[in-house]
Structure 1
Amino acid sequence: MDSAEKKRKLLLGSALIATLIAVVLVGGEDEEIIINTVEPVQSAKSSVDKTKAQENNSEYLDISKLGQRKFNPSAGELFASTTWTPKQPPVSLEEQAAKAAQIAKSSPPSAPTAPPLSFKYTGKAISGNETWVFLAQSGENFIAKIGGKINDKYRLDAITDDMVTMTYLPLNIKQTLTINNKIAGSFR
């Protein structure tokens, strides 16, 4: 055996001896505990008799002797939700207004658009080199040729068999009105 193995066996043996000594010493204390635990059981009968006597003397239990529950504030909320996202600092109304103004300044306003065409195609007439279109809008009838204006808002640009092309003058936007050949007739 080498010296390292002898040292290990010596340490293990001494630990075993120390454990056995501790068991013997603790084993002697158990007898005293049993004797001590027997005495309160015998005295418990006398305390039960005392409480029965107190119950007979008073009809109600004195609640003030019970005490109040005390909760540990470091325990926190039992049913609090947990989230891994960091909390955002509170934002004042002034900061919110400043952000809204900044967003309004940075985003360009939407481009204006022409209103949808509310004209109804009622027919057309061809006379020589000129073509006239008959349109109706809100109970009013309009007759226009290419280059002509309707209500000073629209200009008639082109007329084909399938559609009428107009320009919305306030925004200079071209719009088309499709012609349904089955319903609308043409005049020649």
Structure 2
Amino acid sequence: MASETPFYQKVILWSALAVTLVAALLVEDESEELWEEEVVQPARVSGGQRQHSKHEQAGELLPIDQLGKRQFSATAHDIFAVTSWEPEQIVAIDADTHEQDFQAIEQEEIAWQPLLPAAPPLQFEYLGKVISQGRVRVFLAQGDENYAVGVGERIRTEYRVERILNNAVELTYLPLGVRQILTIE
């Protein structure tokens, strides 16, 4: 029971298709004509001769003296300089050093000592402690995360619990091997 399309609708659809095809053909022909007009033929060079510019053909010289000399920026003296991501180094100077000694230091080559990396400050908050079967565990919080750890256990991959005392928890910051103490009450 499919309803058939009336004859006049078929005629309208077929005539719309015919008009669309004719329009597409006309547009295609016009675009081909536009492209044909824009084609430029390259000039041929025969026998290895180079083409002369219009200045050379007319016998004119290029005004090189009007160009001026190049000026370089002082900050661009070495564009391939090696840079380091290490922190700046500081020099320790004795508090008893006099003005003459400062001048001597400026004239001599200063031996720089690199800054040693330091562990970040502990961000843990002590929540409590429990002793069960002779084993001590502490409850620590860092932000939204809570940890229940004992001696020798790790907190993520950054810290390890070394000792749990009555008033402190000793942690090791594993990336640097630095021990830190969290005081507890």
Range of TM-score over shorter length: 0.3 to 0.5
Greater Rg by CA: 1
More helix by proportion, 1 or 2? 1
Q: Please give the TM-score of this superposition, normalised by the length of structure 2.
A: 0.41
Q: Please give the TM-score of this superposition, normalised by the length of structure 1.
A: 0.40
Q: Which structure's relative contact order is higher, taking Cα pairs within 8 Å and 6+ residues apart?
A: 1
